[in-house]
Structure 1
Amino acid sequence: RLGPRFYDWQIAQTAEESWRECHLHARNLLGEAGYQRLLADIEAERSGAPPGPGAPPPASAAAGQLRMFA
């Protein structure tokens, strides 16, 4: 059986704390440049503009994910 879906400390977080943690994980996975592109794409979508050209995340991000799930 898997553990609980949310831990007590996650439930106790405010929405702002939860979003801050989400942004931290995104920046760690995408790298600074990828994270900035993500933020720019989100802002473009909010304003109705098409997102900018996509670029693959840095190779170091993919390598980190492989190690994390190996």
Structure 2
Amino acid sequence: MLRPFGERFTTHLVVRPPGLPPATTMAQPAAAHADAIRATFSRPVNVLGLSTGGSLALQLAADHPELVSRPPP
């Protein structure tokens, strides 16, 4: 399913860490992903989330919009 993206983009698969406490909010892993993006990339990145990852991608974009690439208007 993701192969076509790999033909055009460098892709990174990111999964949630194991053992998250039940009270974990979407904002917490979104902040961890934001830290990783800042440490790894010098510009905004394209983000794709599937299933719960879609909610996480939305949280990342809402809380850290400077890190998420957007198409020109």
Q: What's the TM-score once normalised by structure 1's chain length?
A: 0.37
Larger-Rg structure: 1
More helix by share: 1
Q: What's the TM-score once normalised by structure 2's chain length?
A: 0.36
Structure with higher RCO (Cα < 8 A, 6+ apart): 2
